[in-house]
Structure 1
Amino acid sequence: MLLYVPKILELRRPKILLHWFSSTPLKVHQAKSQVHIMQELWLSKLPSTMGKIMKQGKVVLVLSGRYAGRKAIIMKTFDDGTSDKQYGHAMVAGIDRYPRKVHKRMGKIKIHKRSKVKPFVKVLNYNHMMPTRYTVDLGLEQKSSPKDLKDPMKRKKIRFQTRVKFEERYKQGKNKWFFQKLRF
């Protein structure tokens, strides 16, 4: 026996339907099977996937830890986690020491020294970073993985490569907001 369900109730959640069915004089197993059918219908109307916010190239602010308040760029994301870290996390490259102000009347050596950037490369939990509306396409190396950060020599090499990319981008004058210290 099929139950007639008004159009209004089709839009509501299955828990509400179960409550509605339990107040009717039907047998419990009939009501549960009908609710199960309604659940499937309701879930089929939902979108299958949500848009990702934490993407590669997204500029984020680090919220906690040694680099709190620093800007970083997502290099690689792990939405479902890994066997080591069973939560959503990302490998980020950010700026530990920002470049200082430069004037035209300064000499070349002084400008070169003040234009240096000290980067950091780290694996962070999604809860410890806040995404911004900005994206930066730096072309950071795709081959690097969180396992490479455990080896000191590979970590040093990755940090050097990111420093070169950051300084190159800074000297081009692109993404000026990224290279300014966040005042908070």
Structure 2
Amino acid sequence: MGKFLKPGRLVVMLAGRQAGKKAILIKANEESTKDAKFPNGLVVGIQRYPRKVTKRMGQKQIRKRTTLKVFIKQLNLNHIMPTRYRLEESTLKEVRDRIERVKEAELKNVEKRKELRKNLRKYLAEKYRTLPAGSLADKKAQSRFLFSKLRF
């Protein structure tokens, strides 16, 4: 059976505080390591989703309602459920570059994680604001799935 947990796959978190939230799989490690004795992966997800915007709202209110909150987490691969959606290569490359600037050892540092989250939040919020209109069937608009709140 082939690997389906490849970088760029949109996943749904199944356990922990972020359960029910959507995330992007950045790196998947199928083998256990010295730090983690289980298959693990690095995910970047959306903790607080953007809210609905109407034509009547001003620019300041639109900017405030389209902000989002991001989380970065290293977790067991059994605690995520892959979806059929994948992030486009350009977006994945940009997110991965921002994460790789911070070394893995520095990810445990609170200040570095905070700075990285802030950086990713700005990038993903801008990505959300420039999404093309269209349905989920459109290849370019598949990232729209990431920014919509999961209802169940």
TM-score scaled by structure 1? 0.69
Structure 2: which 5+ residue stretches go unaligned? 132-140
Q: Give the counterpart of 1:101 among 52, 62, 67.
A: 52
- The question of 1:168 aligning with 2:126 is answered yes
Q: 3-state DSSP class of the match of 1:160?
A: helix
- The question of 1:64 aligning with 2:15 is answered yes
Q: 3-state DSSP class of the match of 1:140?
A: helix
Aligned length: 135
Taking the TM superposition and a 5 Å limit, the aligned residue runs for 1:131-146 are 131-137=82-88, 138=91, 139-142=94-97, 143=100, 144=102, 146=104
Q: How many Å apart are 1:92 and its aligned residue?
A: 0.3
Q: Which residue of 2 aligns with 1:147?
A: 105
Taking the TM superposition and a 5 Å limit, the aligned residue runs for 1:46-57 are 50-57=1-8
Q: 3-state DSSP class of the match of 1:86?
A: coil
- The question of 1:119 aligning with 2:70 is answered yes
Query: 2:67 & 2:15 partners in 1: Cα distance?
Result: 25
Q: 3-state DSSP class of the match of 2:96?
A: coil
Q: Counterpart of 1:131 in structure 2: which amino acid?
A: P
Contact map agreement 1:89 1:124 (CA 8 A) in 2: yes
Contact map agreement 1:118 1:163 (CA 8 A) in 2: yes
Structure 1: which 5+ residue stretches go unaligned? 1-49
TM-score scaled by structure 2? 0.83
Query: 2:11 & 2:106 partners in 1: Cα distance?
Result: 22
Q: Which residue of 2 aligns with 1:39?
A: none
Query: 2:115 & 2:96 partners in 1: Cα distance?
Result: 11
Contact map agreement 1:58 1:73 (CA 8 A) in 2: yes
Query: 1:71 & 1:131 partners in 2: Cα distance?
Result: 10
Percent identity between matched residues is: 44
Aligned residues: CA RMSD: 1.4
Instruction: Provide runs of 4+ in structure 1 moved above 2 Å.
Output: 144-149
From the CA coordinates, give the structure whose radius of gyration is larger: 1
Q: Counterpart of 2:41 in structure 1: which amino acid?
A: A
- The question of 1:88 aligning with 2:39 is answered yes
Q: 3-state DSSP class of the match of 1:76?
A: strand
Higher RCO (CA < 8 A, seq sep 6+):
2
- The question of 1:182 aligning with 2:150 is answered yes
Q: Counterpart of 2:38 in structure 1: which amino acid?
A: Y
Cα distance per residue 1:130-179 (max 9 Å; x no partner): 00011113221341454332101211122112112211210111422211
